[in-house]
A = this chain, B = another copy of it.
């Protein structure tokens, strides 16, 4: 369901109009609390958070939207995600009505403003949902190519890549919200030429620029989701930093894949950007170059192909401890775009369930690292420094091959389009703390 009427609509909440991230056209959901009170659902609008629980108590929603609002007022969005896409969309429509210029509810809301609207900078954000299972995909084809080149210069992309949306299971328990400190992991590493492995803090700590996909309704075990139904099960996107310890990874990953190299922490941004908010930024560019193999039928949906990929501008910023101490701003070290994803969200959902695996509301899928084709568009230090061979120069005079203690990594995402308000993801940040 597109909302063409809202393209130029403004909100009576002034800070929303022209807000680079949270205009009326975005309306992302998250879980917040204030001064340590109970966590509940909220909607970002301008520099404010609309308190869904308070709005429900004031009776601002009716019918299907009220059902959804009640679910979204809980301490996690799992119940909300479990609702049908139609019910979730009814809630979005009701929110738009409430908050747009000329809303008949404006006066009622303003009278209860103290309980209904909270300044975002006073809110503590929490994980949007209790994550049952986390799966990380590998759909950033340039990343797959770049990493492949480091290991297999002659044959970087494996034969299955253009047929299979490659994915693997990750760790749900250690997914944390933006702003959570990341402790440098200790582990086994075996430098080239060493006789035996060593144990100690990782020396090749890295970030990965990814998108996270929140699962909506989900499926019963043994009942695959056909690709044409996949949009029903897609609740929204976030930013995801899949922190990685490359030296631990290199030693442990054969033959069953990464384990401790990844499971010490992954960071997500707090707002769930809905499929409806993203819809205007889908662009019907061909999903794959001419000459690439046609996907198997279970991965092919005409409508999905026509709508195309999402055009989300992604950026990685770095701020070292020295830069913070000297009052310097974080510096951009990479810009990329979600158009570099070889497989679509619908393809990932269809593939994940085709063998019968069940997805549950609040499950999280990672896209895998989204690098672009250019040297300035790489989504990890591993790629930016060619496996540690080169280094990044920072305005503080420092250099980096991998992340040092005190470094803060900040991921951002924003959709921009002529004649349409931009919508943003908010931040996904974390500071590296030394091993204890």
Q: Residues on A close to B: CB < 8 A? A: 132-133, 135-136, 138, 148, 151, 158-160, 163-164, 166-174, 176, 183, 185-188, 190, 196-197, 199, 202, 221-222, 224, 245, 248, 251-261, 263-265, 293, 296-298, 351-352, 354-360, 363, 436
Inside 8 A of A357's CB, which chain B residues have their CB?
171, 173-174, 260, 263-264
Residue from B133, B164, B248, B356 in contact with A188 in the complex, judged by beta carbons closer than 8 Å: B164
A202 to B355, CA, bound (A): 9
A280 to B198, CA, bound (A): 35
Known: A196-B163, A251-B164. A169 touches B355 (CB 8 A): no
**A interface, over-half SS:** loop
Inside 8 A of A358's CB, which chain B residues have their CB?
173-174
Q: Say whether A133 contacts B259, CB under 8 Å.
A: no
Inside 8 A of A255's CB, which chain B residues have their CB?
148, 151, 158, 166, 253, 257
Q: Smallest Cβ distance from A252 to chain B, in angstroms?
A: 5
Known: A188-B296, A197-B163. A173 touches B436 (CB 8 A): no
Inside 8 A of A190's CB, which chain B residues have their CB?
159-160, 163
Q: Say whether B166 contacts A169, CB under 8 Å.
A: no
Inside 8 A of A265's CB, which chain B residues have their CB?
221, 356
Q: Say whether A132 contacts B173, CB under 8 Å.
A: yes
Inside 8 A of A167's CB, which chain B residues have their CB?
256, 259
Q: Say whether B169 contacts A171, CB under 8 Å.
A: yes
Q: Say whether A132 contacts B172, CB under 8 Å.
A: yes
Q: Say whether B260 contacts A257, CB under 8 Å.
A: no
Q: Say whether B257 contacts A199, CB under 8 Å.
A: no
Q: Say whether A199 contacts B298, CB under 8 Å.
A: yes
Q: Say whether A163 contacts B188, CB under 8 Å.
A: yes
30 pairs of residues in contact across A and B, judged by CB atoms under 8 Å: A132-B172, A133-B133, A158-B254, A160-B188, A160-B190, A160-B197, A163-B188, A163-B190, A163-B197, A164-B197, A166-B252, A168-B168, A168-B259, A169-B259, A172-B172, A174-B221, A174-B356, A176-B221, A185-B356, A186-B224, A186-B354, A196-B293, A197-B296, A199-B297, A202-B355, A221-B264, A255-B257, A256-B257, A257-B257, A261-B355
Inside 8 A of A222's CB, which chain B residues have their CB?
183, 264, 436
Q: Say whether B196 contacts A354, CB under 8 Å.
A: no
Inside 8 A of A163's CB, which chain B residues have their CB?
188, 190, 196-197
Inside 8 A of A172's CB, which chain B residues have their CB?
132-133, 172
Across the A-B interface, the 3 shortest Cβ-Cβ residue pairs: A257-B257, A185-B355, A169-B169
A196 to B163, CA, bound (A): 8
Residue from B132, B199, B297, B355 in contact with A263 in the complex, judged by beta carbons closer than 8 Å: B355
A323 to B3, CA, bound (A): 60
Q: Smallest Cβ distance from A248 to chain B, in angstroms?
A: 7
Q: Say whether B260 contacts A351, CB under 8 Å.
A: yes
A188 to B350, CA, bound (A): 13
Q: Say whether B363 contacts A252, CB under 8 Å.
A: no
A166 to B249, CA, bound (A): 12
Q: Say whether A256 contacts B138, CB under 8 Å.
A: yes
Inside 8 A of A138's CB, which chain B residues have their CB?
256
A352 to B186, CA, bound (A): 11
A112 to B356, CA, bound (A): 44
A190 to B158, CA, bound (A): 13
Inside 8 A of A224's CB, which chain B residues have their CB?
186
Q: Smallest Cβ distance from A282 to chain B, in angstroms?
A: 26
Q: Say whether A355 contacts B293, CB under 8 Å.
A: no
Please give me the residue from chain B that is nearest to A298 by CB atom.
Answer: B199
Inside 8 A of A151's CB, which chain B residues have their CB?
255
Q: Say whether A199 contacts B296, CB under 8 Å.
A: yes
Residue from B168, B248, B257, B356 in contact with A355 in the complex, judged by beta carbons closer than 8 Å: B248
Q: Smallest Cβ distance from A297 to chain B, in angstroms?
A: 7
Q: Smallest Cβ distance from A101 to chain B, in angstroms?
A: 44
Please give me the residue from chain B that is nearest to A197 by CB atom.
Answer: B163
Q: Smallest Cβ distance from A15 to chain B, in angstroms?
A: 35
A279 to B194, CA, bound (A): 39
Q: Smallest Cβ distance from A379 to chain B, in angstroms?
A: 16
